[in-house]
Amino acid sequence: AGHSSAASDVYKRQLLLRVYSGREPQDILDTPPDFVTALELQSHLSPTRSTGLSSMLAAIRRFATEALA
């Protein structure tokens, strides 16, 4: 189970990097993370992993907000 969990974390990070890497802060803030729902990601994650994904998305949005300040 540990290997599977670690793989899940890697895939989440890779997905977020692919979506957000190189984007301007305002673009990040102007675009809601609808891909999470469209891909039904949270239905494939445990509650803890789902919370982790939400936390990563919130952090990305927070960093984008701070970059504009």
Render each residue's pLDDT in the chain as its tens digit; 69 residues. 444 566 677 888 888 999 999 999 999 999 888 988 888 887 888 888 888 889 999 999 999 999 999
CB 28 within 8 A of CB 60: yes
The pTM for the full model equals: 0.80
Q: How many angstroms separate the CA atoms of 43 and 52, rounded?
A: 14
Q: Is the dihedral of CA 6, 56, 42, 31 positive or negative?
A: negative
SS3 category, 54: helix
**CA angle 7-9-11, nearest 5°?**
70
24: alpha, beta or left? (left if phi > 0; alpha if psi -120 to 50): beta
